[in-house]
Amino acid sequence: MVYRNPTPTTDVVVIEDGQVLLVRRGREPYKGRLALPGGYIEYGETVEDAAVREVSEETSLCIELVEILGVYSDPSRNPRHHTLTVAFIGRRVSGDL
């Protein structure tokens, strides 16, 4: 039997002064569109560490996670393959926007 499982990802909603931090996607799908910072969880990495790492890689900000916003797993969410994302609310600790 072959198992096909969703790929784990993470997204972070960073809100500051009533505004949500967005990044412009550099790759397909949806290249050029705005998105929450986030990405794939690496093998051996916690979802929390992945969330902080992805925000740092994509924005150069250091953040702390405040709480889990939710878990989203609609199979049609990503046109490449089925993903499951854990979304967090985070706040900036340091770094320039």
Query: Is 47 within 8 Å of 83 (Cβ atoms)?
Result: no
12-43, pLDDT tens digit by residue? Answer: 999 999 999 999 999 998 999 999 999 999 99
Provide the 8-state DSSP code for 77: S
Give the 3-state secondary structure of residue 93. Answer: strand
Provide the 8-state DSSP code for 42: P
DSSP string, 21-39: --EE--SSSSTTSEE-SEE
Q: How far apart are the first and last CA of the chain?
A: 48
What fold characterizes domain 7-94?
Nucleoside Triphosphate Pyrophosphohydrolase (3.90.79)
Residue ranges per structural domain of the chain:
7-94
Query: Is 95 within 8 Å of 59 (Cβ atoms)?
Result: yes
Give the model's pLDDT for residue 1: 85
pTM: 0.93
Give the model's pLDDT for residue 44: 98
